[in-house]
Every structure is written in C-alpha cells, then in structure tokens.
Structure 1
Amino acid sequence: MNQVFKSNISWWLFGPILGGLGFFLLLAVAQQRWVAGLVVLVPVCFIIYLLLSTAYTITPQKLIITSGPLRLRLAGQDITSIYPTHTPISSPALSLDDRLAIRYGKFDSVLVSPAAKAGFLAGLLQLNPAIRHD
C-alpha cells in the first residue's frame, strides 16, 4: 500500500512572499491594470501549486517525490542513506528548517521535508532496511 507524506512548509518564508504578491495583485486590480495583475497572478498560482502538490509517496518498490511538475522516482534499493540537514539549496522541500537529505546511487542526493518525519523514515526503512540513517 502506498504511503503519502505531505511536505512541511516554512510559512515564515512563503507567507511574506505570497502576502507581498497578493498586495501587488490587489493594487493592480484596484487600478484596473489587468496586464500587471496577470503578471503577478502567474507566480502566485505557481507558488500555490507547489505548496499543494509537494509530497513524497512510498510504494512497495520506490520513493516518488512530487513537487509541481517535477517527478523523481527512486528505486528503494538505490537509496543508501538519509540524514538531517539545514542546507538552503533548492530542492523539493518546502521547509528550510526541517530537511532530510536522501543519498541514492553513487553520488546523487535530494532534499525532502516530510511533515511526519518519523513515519516517513519508517516507511523508507520498510522499503530498504539497509538504508543508513541518523
């Protein structure tokens, strides 16, 4: 059975961004500047799409990481380790405070931020008990 884990979200980061864009959107609508409003609406919609779609699905054979249009499929046996990190590099993790780095293959890694870290880690260990973790 598939287990789906939503991403934890750093609202202190996304709140001000969405608030600022929302302000400019309202200003453009109030001034009837429709092109400017559309220019602001596009990133607002994309950010909301990312916030709603970012999730991590553990199936019996693989981990599927989804964030907007991005889909990354990792075979369970390819995952070698998972450990906590606070690196701010771009990734399908919506939290900057509470991230996990997943190493797979020889040199590849991806950052995730599941809201239910303990359940996520337990699901990964069921997928591959040989995963090293901290």
Structure 2
Amino acid sequence: MLQNRVFRSKTGFVVWVPIALCCGIAVLAWYTDNLVLFPVLIIGFGLLLTLWLLNTSYSITADGLLKIRCFVLRIDIPIHVITKINKSKSITSAAALSSDRLEVWYNRYDSVIISPKAKDIFIAALKEVNPAIKVNL
C-alpha cells in the first residue's frame, strides 16, 4: 500500500536574495532616518514572506495524486496523467524555491516547474505509481 510522502522544496538564492534585500533596506532605514516603524514593518514582511515561502512542498498521496503547495498555489495532479519529467533551469515564476528545477509534464500540454530537495527519491516515488513516466535529466 502506497503511503503519503512529502518532499520539501530545495531553497536557493532565488529565496534568500529578496530576504537579504529587505533586511538591508531595514537596517539602512534604521541608521539613516532613525525611523523605528518602517524597518520593523520591512523585517516583519520579510519574515512572513520567508515562512510562507519555506512552506513549499510536494506530496505524493496514497490515492495517487501529486499535490503541489506553494504560496497560495494549490495544484493536484493525478500521477497517472504525468507523461514526463525534464530537468529545467527556467527562471519563470514557479512552485520552486531553487534554480535546480524539474518540469513535470502532464495531460497533453500542461506542465509545472518544481524543485524537490531529493530529486532522485521524488522521481522514484512517482515512478512507483506510474512506471510509464519518461525521465530526461
């Protein structure tokens, strides 16, 4: 019997640069204008954004679904309709927190870009459910 498995997103500079910028702007505002509220708001926004971003995950459920959760994005893909997985270096907006990405193709023309930490284990788990998935890494 297949169990639910959760894979966290790999994180890269894509996430940390905006957070560092928020902190840098807050520190700069603190020392130049002596404003207290503005830096606190920026740091608070950066921390909330970080917590929200780091909650990105990809679940393989016992009923054969790939559930992608990122920001407000919620996608459920039946694993039996996944046709192929390719390596991707695309910088387009995606449910991926790293530039080391996979593009998952499903149905006829649909795809989603993700970045699981343990790519090999993630792909093997998908292939357990659907051995017909073609993998091009």
TM-score, length of structure 2 as denominator length: 0.84
Determine the structure 2 residue equivalent to 1:84.
Answer: 87
Q: Does 1:133 align with 2:128?
A: no
Verify: 1:19 aligned to 2:20, yes or no. yes
Match of 2:73 among 70, 74, 78: 70
1:17 maps to amino acid? P
Q: Single out whichever of 76-85 and 116-125 deviates more from structure 2.
A: 76-85
How far apart, in 1, do the equivalents of 2:27 and 2:77 lie?
42
Paired residues, what number?
131
Distance verdict in 2 for CA 1:44–1:118, change over 3 Å? same
Distance 1:80 1:46, change over 3 A: farther
Aligned position for 1:113: 115
* Residues 28, 34 of structure 1: 8 Å contact kept: no
Asked if 2 retains the 8 angstrom alpha-carbon contact of 1:100 and 1:113, the reply is yes
Letter in 1 for 2:24: F
> Is the CA contact (8 Å cut-off) linking 2:14 and 2:97 kept in structure 1?
no
Residues 27 and 39 in structure 2, CA contact (< 8 A), matched pair in contact too: no
- Which consecutive aligned stretches of 4+ in structure 1 deviate over 3 angstroms post-superposition? 26-30
Amino acid at match of 2:87: P
Please, what is the CA RMSD of the aligned residues?
A: 1.9
TM-score, structure 1 as length reference = 0.85
1:24 maps to amino acid: I
Q: Percent identity?
A: 32
C-alpha offsets along residues 112-131 of structure 1, whole Å, 9 cap, x if unaligned?
11110010001110121111
Shift of 1:24: 1.9
Stretches of structure 2 lacking an aligned partner (at least 5 in a row): none
- SS of the residue corresponding to residue 19 of structure 1 reads helix
